[in-house]
Amino acid sequence: MRLLIMGPPGVGKGTQAVGIAAHYGIPAISTGDIFRANVKNQTPLGQEVSRIMAEGGYVPDEITNAIVADRLTEADAAEGWLLDGYPRTAGQVAALDDELARTGQAIDAVISLVADTDVLVERLLKRAELEGRADDNAETIRNRMVIYTEATDPLLATYRERGLLVEVDGIGSIDEVAGRITTALDAVRA
């Protein structure tokens, strides 16, 4: 399986990505994890990412696209993968399309975890309280939800038009949501 997973902040996308990947025997590839590992290890890429983020910027698509393309060539991704956090822009969608065409691969499905914003705000406020994240207040969280929706809706529309979008209710226990996802993906594979 070659999969993408998308969902608003707080929906449990990272948790579900790991479970889906384990279920299908494919790597869960998180661009955020790749960036954090490079920053921690102070690689040349990590130093560049640190500089960009210190200036308040976003890592440019060219860097992100190259990292993902490189990661997809690793041996553990030969039979499939799940991308978490990528693509995030129309340019990244186009770059992924180009890379997959170049390597003769195709996306099997795009999982979109959906949830009521108020439920997610409450969930994130509880997490902020438990983790001592003073900067996570209701206004900040709602603003991140708006930014996510504005950035992601066009991507979801693209994948919906291609018949790849699989929308799954992201509210419930980890196991309940995982069950919904695998049921929906197994139906796609059938």
- Each residue's pLDDT tens digit, 93-149: 999 999 999 999 999 999 999 999 999 999 999 988 888 877 778 888 888 889 889
* Count of domains forming the chain: 1
Among residues 71, 99, 74, 98, the alpha carbon closest in space to that of 85 is found at: 71
Q: What residues are annotated to the active site?
A: 13, 88, 127, 133, 144
Among residues 102, 165, 34, the alpha carbon closest in space to that of 94 is found at: 102
Q: CATH code at 164?
A: 3.40.50.300
pLDDT of residue 49: 83
Range of the domain at 48: 2-189
Q: Is the pLDDT of residue 55 over 90?
A: no
Per-residue pLDDT reduced to its tens digit, 58-84: 788 998 998 899 899 999 999 999 999
| φ, ψ dihedrals at 110, nearest 5° | -120, 110
Rounded Cα distance between 48 and 108, Å, is: 33
